[in-house]
Structure 1
Amino acid sequence: MKQKLFSLLSWLNRSLDSNTAIGIATYAHKVTAVCLKKNQGQWYVHNSHSVNVEDQTDYTAAIAACTNEVCAEVCAVNLVVPHYFYQIVQMDKPMLSDEEIIQSLPWTTKDLVDIPPENIVADFIDYPIIQPMQSSKMNVFITNKLQLLPFIDSFEKIKPVLRAMTSEEMILVTLFGEDKSAHMLIVQHAGHEPRILIIRDGQLLLVRRLNGFLGISDKERTQGLVEALGLEIQRSMDFFESQLKQPPIRSIQLHCDDLSSLTLRAGLADFLQVKVVDFKPNVDLAQELEPNFYYALGAAYQLTSPDSVV
């Protein structure tokens, strides 16, 4: 399954160190980087670093500084685009080659987003659930080229090479690993609304962005919050299990900045009668890192796969 999106293959004109991979993750106020190296056939965490940023205009310098800090060699970089920089829409998949589909996306999606077609950058992944009597579908990731340019400019004067960009959702798919059971993940970054993902066996089965949960403080974690979030989770579970006719969700995992707490976790477990735990990557290398480096680790880890673009 494709995990890296917005590939930059045509821009590469240098050979890269295949034993080194860098992942970069950008947040509202932080850039993190993880460098993996391979020794005797085994990948290990060589270095990690983070840089605080005040606003988006600081991304270019912060990404360059963060990248150089973890590794200054000529190697591949995979960068995680912030979730608020792109949209995800589901569409019928046309009977075309992958390359032809990608070339057509700026025009087939132009009425779905508020971006001029000439500035649309889009990629897709196959939607793995096929319903009887329905055509195959795909999840399309759409962003504005003008938003990506500062990321690209970050690598103009440094040795590491930006080879691909990916989404937060595909990073989480990577970090979940190849678990055969379906798991629901509640993701929420500071200052942003939560999202609901369902992941199974290396595939993204559902993604929903919620509204109405911003500004919730510790003092406001009442039964009302548990019920409001619980109802949204229950709707997603019902849709997945009843309408899509999929086996039950095995667990619910929280990966939240503002919404995580023992009280919320216990309240959701009681409300939903489903196991609720904090998110832990199913990747051994994650044990060496703090949670704020997970996305950067996932981006680097994607470059280590045999079918990587490195």
Structure 2
Amino acid sequence: MLIGASKARSGNYRIILQLGKKELRLLVLRHRQADLPEVVVNDSSEVSQTNTSEILEHFNQSYDKLGLKHAPVTLVLGLGYYQTIAVDRPDVPEQDIAASLAFQLGDLTDLAPENMVTDYYELAYQPSGQNKVMAVAGNKQELSDWVQAIVDAGWEPEIITISELELRKLHPHSARARLCVYPLERGYLVQIYHQGKLCFSRALSGQAAITDYSKEEIELGALEPLATELQRSMDYYESQLRQAPVKEIMVAISHAQLDSVCGALSDLLAVSVERFNYEDWMNELCEGDFSDLAAFAAAKQEPSTADEAGADKEQDA
């Protein structure tokens, strides 16, 4: 549990709930005049199928003095709570695409159409000749239970989003493509960004954890399986999406020998590999192991057009 020193009782709070299959994370943010909020609470609790309401009630009691009643809530779903599938763009008006996807996904997921909540997003680039969208399907009853639990806690559900889309906001708008590796509850998530947009997203659910590798094991090639998967991702971005090669990798993985990890991956992939760093406003109350990145990302506003233009000029310089 991490609690900030703020004594403010303005009631001007916002809540981020980052939902994983094993853990629910709570961020409480206080709005400021600046674009970046003040982080007041960063807490987490184990999740089971039967304790949805109990977790939120525990949080409510723990931080009762903050006066969180009616606070708006953003619920960030981890990969275990939704499925993402690339499908041909439905031949319907844009405003009807999300609703039409349930029937298109009937044979592609383990959910019946009537039990789905569906939406979609689009990646920045597509392979030649394709016109696809990334369909997102969640369990309607499961999500309804969480929304009801939020309401029962006296909070106000405002947004349901997914971690894959939120993480993009942690990276600057840049003319150079960047690949980032994040931890999942099982495996890793690989994403590639360019010009402030998500271009590629892939979960390495079968990838063995590297957190316990010693420096000696790393030097002897223990990271080769991970490097192979990263190379495949970069090859797809370059050849199938017809983009310039990725020259920068960020590693958001907690490891006692992170410098050795970055060095070994750089040698194996022949690209610059650096550790991901929390932004200054996150540092006081961050976990430090990157398990809370999706929640912090959801707390950020989308960069303005002016900010993006400025970042591009800095990059070009």
Normalising by structure 2, we get a TM-score of 0.78
**AA in 1 matched with 2:262:** R
- Corresponding position: 1:184 with 2:179: yes
Alpha-carbon contact 1:254-1:278 (below 8 Å) kept: yes
Question: CA deviation digits over 1:118-172, x for unaligned, max 9?
Answer: 111111112221455x243211111211332332132132332111211111121
Q: Look up the match of 2:152.
A: 157
- Corresponding position: 1:93 with 2:86: no
Alignment of 1:239-258 (within 5 A): 239-257=236-254
SS in 2 for 1:96: coil
Which of the residues 70, 73, 76 maps onto 1:74? Answer: 70
- Corresponding position: 1:299 with 2:295: no
SS in 2 for 1:180: coil
SS in 2 for 1:225: coil
Alpha-carbon contact 1:21-1:303 (below 8 Å) kept: no
SS in 2 for 1:113: coil
Question: CA deviation digits over 1:28-69, x for unaligned, max 9?
Answer: 443222233333455421511313225343343223433673
Q: 1:302 to 1:151 in 2, by over 3 A?
A: farther
CA distance in 2, matches of 1:202, 1:154: 34
Q: Look up the match of 2:228.
A: 231
Q: Look up the match of 1:273.
A: 270
Alpha-carbon contact 2:20-2:79 (below 8 Å) kept: no
Residue ranges of structure 1 left out of the alignment (5+ in a row)? 1-16
CA distance in 1, matches of 2:79, 2:156: 22
Q: Look up the match of 2:6.
A: none
Q: 1:139 to 1:53 in 2, by over 3 A?
A: same
CA shift, 1:244, in A, is 1.3
**Percent sequence identity over aligned pairs:** 25
- Corresponding position: 1:169 with 2:172: no
Normalising by structure 1, we get a TM-score of 0.80
Q: How many residues align?
A: 287
Q: Look up the match of 1:286.
A: 282
SS in 2 for 1:154: helix
CA distance in 2, matches of 1:18, 1:96: 43
CA distance in 2, matches of 1:276, 1:42: 29
**AA in 2 matched with 1:119:** N
Superposed structure 1 runs of 4+ greater than 6 Å apart? 303-306
Asked which structure has the greater CA Rg, the reply is 2
CA shift, 1:173, in A, is 0.8
Alpha-carbon contact 2:258-2:275 (below 8 Å) kept: no
**AA in 2 matched with 1:47:** V
Q: Look up the match of 1:33.
A: 26
Q: 1:270 to 1:303 in 2, by over 3 A?
A: closer
Which of the residues 212, 236, 240 maps onto 1:218? Answer: 212
SS in 1 for 2:50: helix
Between 1:290-299 and 1:224-233, the stretch displaced more is 290-299
CA shift, 1:183, in A, is 1.0
Q: Which has the higher contact order (CA 8 A, sep 6+)?
A: 1
CA distance in 1, matches of 2:255, 2:135: 28
- Corresponding position: 1:119 with 2:115: yes
**AA in 1 matched with 2:299:** A
Root-mean-square deviation (Å): 3.0
Alpha-carbon contact 2:210-2:223 (below 8 Å) kept: no
